[in-house]
Amino acid sequence: MPTRNDIRNVAIVAHVDHGKTTLVDAMLKQAGAFAAHQHLDDRMMDSNDLEREKGITILAKNTAVKYHPKGGGDPITINIIDTPGHADFGGEVERGLSMVDAVVLLVDASEGPLPQTRFVLRKALQAKLPVILCINKTDRPDSRIDEVVNETYDLFLDLDADEDQIEFPIVYACARDGIASLTKPENGTVPADSDSLEPFFSTILDHVPAPVYDEDAPLQAHVTNLDADNFLGRIALLRVEQGYLKKGQTVAWIKRDGSISNVRISELLMTEALTRKPAEQAGPGDICAVAGIGEIMIGETLADPENPIALPLITVDEPAISMTIGTNTSPLVGKGGSGKGADAKSGAKVDRKVTARQVKDRLDRELIGNVSLRVLETERPDAWEVQGRGELALAILIETMRREGFELTVGKPQVVTREIDGKTHEPVERLTVDVPEEHMGAVTQLMGVRKARMDNMSNHGSGWVRMEFVIPSRGLIGFRTEFLTSTRGTGIAHSIHEGYEPWFGVLTTRNNGSLVADRSGVVTAFAMTNLQERGVLFTDPGTEVYEGMIVGENSRADDMDVNITKEKKLTNMRSSNADVAESIVPPRKLSLEQSLEFCREDECIEVTPETVRIRKVVLDAQTRARTRGRVNKG
């Protein structure tokens, strides 16, 4: 069969923070994608604000570089897919792998293969894609290149790779400096026999297969991603598998339900560096974007109207975590962070979205581009159950919505259970923990409470221990904060979905109760001074609170209703301690992720563009007390 030697399609896959996006930056710069005078940011592919803030890739993105072979000849287009390294965004990884013919597996020269390395490699091996191994960050002082290469071989064997896949080429790189080599450098050094990524580019040309096609086959193009443009409307990103796609052409649009309708391609775009440029034609193996089909969805096919043949739909792993998202039902709805109806920082009105229709429309829009998400109806008309891969994926969705002006009520994350052979099964995770040796006992104790079992433990002799646990996904909700406290902020933990096991029973992950405001008002410094010995407070003086809002964490196991708005009584009598200065312990500020971890079953989170508040589901203290009494009586 004929091949297209002028093009290569490759995805870069790795664990979080092993240097994928930095490597793509270096490839773009060295391939001459930018003019010499252009100012270039680091991590150019991380265009999303949240990606830059969190330092992780959330959305799979594609770019293209024109590589001029050193030996001369025509330039070759290398299409590069930068994929997320976090398993919560596995749907993005699966979509990215459906567009390429090989993958570059990036592994940190010190940390070695980690849970997400296993996840992304397993997906690549299942798709029968050849692999190029790139050992990155060889200049780290604690790098251990030989051990990491051996660990990667073990991982391939563990994942049942076939003989061809195990015979992978190895490239050693320092992506930050834009240097790669085929010769192993000394630990802690940059490759000395190279000053560019030339060996890496050559390896891609030699080991990434060129797209193969059938000259007589009708058009087939697979929709793998969606984007939007203010002028062109919805844009479908697709890979042309067979035939040719032209601007102005009429094609058959094969939908998910199998129905077919004819549509016209109003605009055809090809990626060049970080921009899309108009093109007249895309051939087999090309990754392009088309406009003009308003309702097109991921996984659908564009085909020849005379002979429409559908490509298989993209399948992704089932969701493991769910949470209820609904409209904001608190007394401060629509009133911003200060309770005065304005943006606390600028004093300008925020375009608030507080109705059920707006929330539902936004969740439906998210489903268009996010194949790993599910939205289910609940008993209430203003709340929906949203299911996703993990806590982080759902937290990113909520953070994105609050930045768009939505006010929401979010319930505690729950696991999505399954009925297998008449028994309830729950999702479990494989957790890898790296900690200094002195914190090993504290971590083991923390895991015991969460019903985790240890699978493996290794000590590299560097003072650090690596432990692998299998733990129910429920046990990881609220785990990170406690883990960092137990390890004095030094521990590193990563997890990946491992399957389903029988229900583990009751888990108690939070031992302390809540301090709950018993009335509406404004927080006073006087009340905070009296309450701070009862636990840790979450609010500043001057903050508006309402009955049922959680203002702190109790030092005991049960909840306590408190009056945090109490004012000091003024009298005209002199007092010996009248002018004694009281010091207030700075309150603990919880982020959205920390609030989700802190939440109990009878609590929920109020999310607004300015603030995140934790509250009881039932605000009235008397109603809660009656419910507690009924539960205690049985």
Binding residues for GTP: 17-22, 136-139
d(CA 428, CA 528): 41
Q: At what angle do helices 145-158 and 115-126 cross, to 10 degrees?
A: 50
User: In degrees rounded to 5, what are phi and psi of residue 12?
Assistant: -105, 120
Decide the pairing of beta strands 535-537 and 374-377. unpaired
What is the secondary structure of 424-452 as a DSSP string? EEEEEEEEEEEEEGGGHHHHHHHHHHTT-
Q: Is 388 within 8 Å of 329 (Cβ atoms)? A: no
Strand 131-136, strand 170-174: pairing: parallel
* Distant-in-sequence, close-in-space partners of 29: CB < 8 Å, separation ≥ 6: 40, 178
Number of continuous H segments (helices) and E segments (strands) in the chain: 15, 35
List the beta strands (DSSP E) in 473-569: 492-502, 514-517, 521-522, 535-537, 544-545, 550-554, 560-562
Distance CA 565, CA 403 (A): 30
Three-state DSSP at 88 gives helix
Query: Do the beta carbons of residue 339 and residue 542 sit within 8 Å?
Result: no
| Distance from the first to the final alpha carbon of the chain | 73
Reading the block at residue 418, the tokens are 């399954």
Tokens of 546: 């309402």
Distance CA 173, CA 179 (A): 6
* Annotated binding residues: 17-22, 136-139
Secondary structure (3-state) at 250: strand
Q: 401 exposed, middle or buried (CB, 10 Å; 0-12, 13-18, 19+)?
A: buried
| CA–CA gap between residue 596 and residue 614 (Å, rounded) | 9
> Amino acid identity, residue 86?
H
Beta bridge partners of 234: 228
CA torsion through residues 467, 469, 475, 476, sign: positive
Kindly state the tokens that stand for 367.
């489903």
DSSP state of 296: -
Q: Residue 115: which of 82, 88, 83 has the closest Cα?
A: 88
Q: DSSP secondary structure string, 572-594?
A: SS--TTTTPPPPPPPPPPP-HHH
Q: How far apart are CA 140 and CA 107, in angstroms?
A: 13
The C-alpha atoms of residue 150 and residue 145 are separated, in whole angstroms, by 9
Tokens describing residue 152: 């990667």
